[in-house]
Amino acid sequence: MLSLERVTKTYRLGAFGLQKLTAVRDVSFEISEREIVSLIGESGSGKSTIGKLILRLTPITSGTIRFEGADVSTLNGPSLKEYYRRVQGVFQDPFASFNPIFKADRIFRMVHDEFYPEMGAREWAEKVEGALRAVGLNPPDVLNKFPHQLSGGQLQRFLVARALLLDIRLLIADEIISMLDASTRVDVLNLLADLKARGLSILFITHDLSLGYYISERAIILYRGRIAEMGPTDKVYHRPLHPYTQMLMESVPRLDRKWEEEIRVEREGGLAGPTGDGCVYASRCPRAMGMCTQQEPELREAETGHYVACWAK
Amino acid sequence: MLQVENLTVYYKTIRGYVQALEKATFTVADGEIMGLAGESGCGKTTLGHSLIYLRPPMNYIEGRVVLDGRELPIWDMEQMQEFRYRHISLIPQYAMNALNPTRKIGRMIAELLESRGMNYDEVLPELKRRLDLVQLSHDVLKMYPIELSGGMKQRTVMVVSTLLNPSLLIADEITSALDVSTQKAVCEMLVEFRDRGFVKSTIIITHDISILYQIADSIMVMYAGQLSEKAPTETIFQDARHPYTRMLIGSLPKVGVRYQEERLLGIPGSPPQLLNPPAGCRFRDRCPVAFDRCMEVPPFLEISPGHSVACWRAY
């Protein structure tokens, strides 16, 4: 349904845009119908940039993003509007997504005016109530209120409900639960699972490995703008192939297993993005060989559906 | 050893007192790393800060804090100066981003020591030993904060804040902004500092319970300004007695659990406003086993050694 082909994004930095930072480089992956894919990475890995590129919030530097066959970067006017009818995003900070001066349900009215101007008030109100119920909210409790009168979890559901008002096929969920409290987090996660059951595909962007495991069929591990490993979630988690993924799985605090006793402090890597020569993880990798600093490993299929970019494999 | 009795701290606002911390009574033993967990707004940071830096709009209402047998004058900002840094150290949230950008790390430490009437050169050998211990180069002392990565800054902050071997270290969300590999290194430092006796008792404030599972000896759970439960880490996970603790632990996704096989449940509802909190147990409205008795505040009672809980159903 959605495919990325060698997508690269370079930001210009500095006073005259003289410095360049490659946030995402040569990233290719696909999302199928009714699939939840986790995009997992640490800060600076480019995971949010990929979400923004798919939503066309920032232009792509090179490569192609296709949605149902059409090149997303060529869309404009009515075709772009049609795209947004099908692809929507929800972001990390629910409070920043609302204008505090207006009531929270203004976002629904904006969808109405923009996408369904011909729909009557009564029919629209029913549609809004239906969407709110679908995300587990009781309409009388939440309608006609200001953002500060609602909790973070409620606002986040509001935003998902807003997306549901459209004929949405793909939801880009960028860290949507990292600001929520533990007790309400899992409800929003379950909501995503319910949406999938209704036929939606979801790109679930997160830094939290356990959340990715709970919700997704496939996982993509990003490191500094490159895909390190990609495959079915249980394989990536239980039999990681890339040394970076292995380090992640060992270091992440888990509830099912305590850390090993041995102390393995990672070597500090630099702060720059990919440089072009060699593997981006080579400077921190315990298994780096000569090859790793000279040529960048391509993503290769190690077993069915399980891809890794590492010379040691 | 830290003993806290009936500590009550409110925030003064124009609409009245926000009852952020209500009658907290607990102890942290020597060598104990206690995790303080709870959702945002539950009062965990208020509790941590009130032990060392109780300033307006925080208002001291009542209670006693005793550290190593000496009562701390926490209500008096001036008198507490004697205890800060030497006996109690606090690493506030975002501390690593609050290092003075115009000072080199070494000069900043020198100024800090001078403010406590100590000499930088005398402390320097120990400082260098500790930098070695956490695998930081001595060059850090000649660098500006901007030259350090997040993990290096956080390690520097930890070395600086424990330099005078305080009895109590309060670490507020020190791992939240770090990548997983650095997060683990910082957590292991906390354990190492305790093992080497640099600090006696440690309170780690965090919303991330999986971190506590890894390194804390005991976990204290707070809800809406009240203590819910305190127990050894294993007990909190295996045999929690407070419904809130159980539901909180039960709602956490773990690697190995997928929604198709085991659907986790959240806790319906939201915490009460603390401006005029309801009487009795504050978890009452969300609690599946609440009954008439819960209109009274349940006392925080020790039900077995090291295991205290505030719930009428648990005694």
Distance CA B251, CA B267 (A): 8
8 A C-beta contact, residue B35 and residue B216: yes
| Six token digits for residue A237 | 């988690």
- Which residues in B250-265 are b (16+ Cβ under 10 Å) and which e? ebbbebbbbbeeeebe
* DSSP symbols for B279-307: SS-TTGGG-TT--GGGGSPPP-EEEETTE
Q: For residue range A120-168, list pLDDT tens digits in order.
A: 999 999 999 999 988 888 888 889 999 988 888 888 889 999 999 998 9
**B188 compared with A14, residue with greater pLDDT:** B188
pLDDT grade, residue A269 (50/70/90)? very low
| Six token digits for residue A265 | 């402090």
| Six token digits for residue A54 | 């798919």
CA proximity to B7, closest of B68, B74, B55: B74
Q: Flag whether residue B146 sits within 8 Å of chain A, measured between CB atoms.
A: no
Least CB–CB distance from A210: residue in B187, B255, B259: B255
pLDDT grade, residue A276 (50/70/90)? low
pLDDT at B167: 96
Distance CA A266, CA A287 (A): 13
Task: List strand residue ranges (DSSP E) for B102-200, in order.
Answer: 168-172
At position A23, the amino acid (one-letter code) is A
Model's pTM, two decimal places?
0.87
Q: Does the distance separating the beta carbons of B188 and A263 come in below 8 Å? A: yes
Distance CA A159, CA A155 (A): 6
* DSSP symbols for A5-65: EEEEEEEEESTTS-EEEEEEEEEEEEE-TT-EEEEE--TTSSHHHHHHHHTTSS--SEEEE
Q: Which H or E run contains B12?
A: strand B2-13
Give the closest-approach CA distance of B236 to chain A in angstroms: 12
Q: Does the distance separating the beta carbons of A253 and B211 come in below 8 Å? A: yes
pLDDT at A275: 53
Give ∠ CA B176-B179-B185 in degrees, rounded to 5. 90
Over chain B (315 residues), the average pLDDT of each successive run of 10 is: 96 92 95 93 92 91 95 93 93 87 94 92 94 91 90 91 95 86 88 94 92 95 96 95 94 86 87 90 94 95 95 93
Q: Flag whether residue B270 sits within 8 Å of chain A, measured between CB atoms.
A: yes
Torsion sign over Cα A226, A231, A232, A236: negative
pLDDT at A261: 63
Q: Is the ipTM of this complex over 0.85?
A: no
Q: Where do runs of H (alpha helix) occur along chain A?
A: 47-54, 77-86, 106-115, 121-134, 139-142, 152-165, 182-197, 209-215, 233-238, 243-251, 290-294
Instruction: List CB contacts (< 8 A) between A186 and chain B.
Output: 251-253, 264-266
pLDDT grade, residue A250 (50/70/90)? confident
Q: Which H or E run contains B128?
A: helix B120-133
Of A36-50, A275-289, B239-253, B271-285, which range is least confident?
A275-289
At position B14, the amino acid (one-letter code) is I
Mean pLDDT for the stretch of residues A172-187: 85
Largest CA distance in chain A: 69
pLDDT at A274: 45
Q: Flag whether residue B265 sits within 8 Å of chain A, measured between CB atoms.
A: yes
Q: How many other C-beta atoms can be found within 10 angstroms of the C-beta atom of residue A68?
A: 13
- Which residues in B200-218 are b (16+ Cβ under 10 Å) and which e? bbbbbbbbbbbbbbbbbbb
User: Which residues pair with residue B91 across a beta bridge?
Assistant: B171
8 A C-beta contact, residue A23 and residue A49: yes
Helix B180-195 / helix B150-161 crossing angle, nearest 10 deg: 20
Q: Report the length, in residues, of chain A.
A: 313
pLDDT at A267: 46
Q: Flag whether residue A260 sits within 8 Å of chain B, measured between CB atoms.
A: no
pLDDT at B101: 92
Q: Does the distance separating the beta carbons of A42 and B255 come in below 8 Å? A: no
Q: Flag whether residue B251 sits within 8 Å of chain A, measured between CB atoms.
A: yes
pLDDT(A93) > 50: yes
| Six token digits for residue A197 | 């059951």
Distance CA A113, CA B54 (A): 51
List, edge to edge, every strand of the sheet that includes B16-28: B16-28, B2-13, B58-67, B70-71
Q: How many other C-beta atoms can be found within 10 angstroms of the C-beta atom of residue A146?
A: 15
Q: N- to C-terminal Cα distance for chain A?
A: 30
pLDDT(A29) > 70: yes
Distance CA A267, CA A245 (A): 16
8 A C-beta contact, residue A134 and residue A51: no
Suggest the residue from A265, A271, A283, A284 to mutate for an interface test with chain B (most B CBs closer than 10 A): A265
Q: Phi and psi dihedrals of B151, rounded to 5?
A: -65, -40
CA proximity to B91, closest of B157, B179, B2: B157
Instruction: List CB contacts (< 8 A) between A213 and chain B.
Output: 253-258
